[in-house]
Amino acid sequence: MILTTTNTIEHHKIMDYCGIVTGVSMKMRDISAFAGKEKHSQQMEDALNDLKEEAFKKLQSHAKALGANAVVGIHIDFEPVGTGYYFGVSVTGTAVKVAVP
């Protein structure tokens, strides 16, 4: 599956727009525990990357369920939820069918 932040894919013609898809991943984390500690900043970065990868997998699964073979216009949001004990990542884009050259 092709994933891109752009609205087009070079050398691929968009044949059909399947709909907007989102992948969301959320975990309970006390992000205040990471603050100001260099050792913990790598742990926080790793935790965010894990959340992002999980959100991308869900995005791809939702796109495939619509019959898409690509997602364009992808936008990624990282946000604390509530009082900082939950952290979420959402990945949103437009699922499309592209002609494969």
Q: Give per-residue pLDDT as tens, 31-79.
A: 555 555 565 667 777 878 889 999 999 999 999 999 999 999 999 998 8
Q: Any idea what the CATH number is for the domain that residue 21 is in? A: 3.30.110.70
As for how many domains the chain has, the answer is: 1
- According to DSSP, residue 32 is labeled G
Mean residue pLDDT across the chain: 87
Edge-first strand order for the sheet with 86-98 is 2-3, 70-81, 86-98, 14-28
pLDDT exceeds cutoff 90 at 84? no
pLDDT exceeds cutoff 70 at 4? yes
Element (H, E) at 55: helix 38-65
Question: 70 is in which domain, residue-wise?
Answer: 2-98
